[in-house]
Amino acid sequence: MRNGLVSVSLSEVEVPSLHLHHLWSRTRITMSENRGDAEERGDSVDAKIWSIRRGGSEVPDGTEKAGRGGKAEAASADPYRYRMDYPSIGTCVIINNKNFHKSTGMNIRNGTDLDAGGAMKTFSDLGYKMKMANDLTVAELEKLLLSVSKEDHSGSASFVCVLLSHGDEGIFYGTDGFTELKKLTGMFRGDRCKTLVAKPKLFFIQACRGTHLDEGIQTDSSCDQSSDRIPVEADFLYAYSTAPGYYSWRNTTNGSWFMQALCEMLKKHSSQLELMQIMTRVNNKVALDFESASSTPGFSAKKQIPCIMSMLTKDFYFPC
């Protein structure tokens, strides 16, 4: 118990091998997979999950409701709100990479199936048409996303992609190697995916972005009808599980910190809050409710903060 906060379970970091082969050879760290008997001994990197905090609810009920103004209002009349009056809210693609070729040096990502399952249920409940693929090579994941980008999204209000794998800054791993994230997301740019122009394209990325560990610190307490030209990079949101340069933690029994928080906050607030308000709550939960506890020297008492990069041009509210 710590400051009245309880609940402990096993966790690991999303460890990239691109720049870390020397680190593994020196420390012999394989995080949650010391192959053979690591899982049985329970000696993977752990995480204390603070399920109780400050003894109160996150936000008073009145606060959330005050921000909505009624979702049934005609959003198409509001120039600062994305249109949602399409036949479909859109497609959600989940790429879940768990097992990797030996040549990559990547460890198995135990716990990622929980992330994929949680994302599947969350976005399905929101009305998205789901597509999920497991253990794709670089060529396969590029082919899948290219195919989706070429589909007709005219009847969709938005697009969502959930990417679960190992990574490093600017890169994402297939089972046989890595590719640039920009190459994957760029397939949906306005000049390449015309039927998603001026519509929100949301990418949620659970992967490492480097090798730093966050020590923490104590505190005191629709297509528009106008003819205006828009940037091809407009209307994207990239929600990364961690800040640039840092590890991303994944719990082997409950899933990654980021995906746990994302699914919980979407379920709790999607009927009331705007997307960026929801993502701020995701940041809050990951930052305050999770902390690593590891028997591996130097990996205990670490923190994590997600990073949201938005090029959205309007407010995004999920339809009722």
Active-site residue flag, 166: yes
| Catalytic hit among 92, 161, 193, 208 | 208
Sheet holding 201-206, edge to edge: 129-134, 88-96, 156-164, 201-206, 236-240, 307-310
Active-site residue flag, 21: no
Q: How far apart (Å, rounded) are the C-alpha atoms in residues 230 and 198?
A: 8
Sort 144 into a burial class: Cβ within 10 Å, 0-12 / 13-18 / 19+.
middle
Q: Which residues have CB under 8 Å from 48's CB, separation 6+?
A: 2, 5, 7, 8, 290, 291, 292, 293
Q: How far apart (Å, rounded) are the C-alpha atoms in residues 281 and 194?
A: 32
**Helix, strand, or coil (residue 93):** strand
| Catalytic hit among 92, 161, 166, 269 | 166
Structure letter (DSSP) for residue 165: S
Write out the catalytic residue numbers.
166, 208
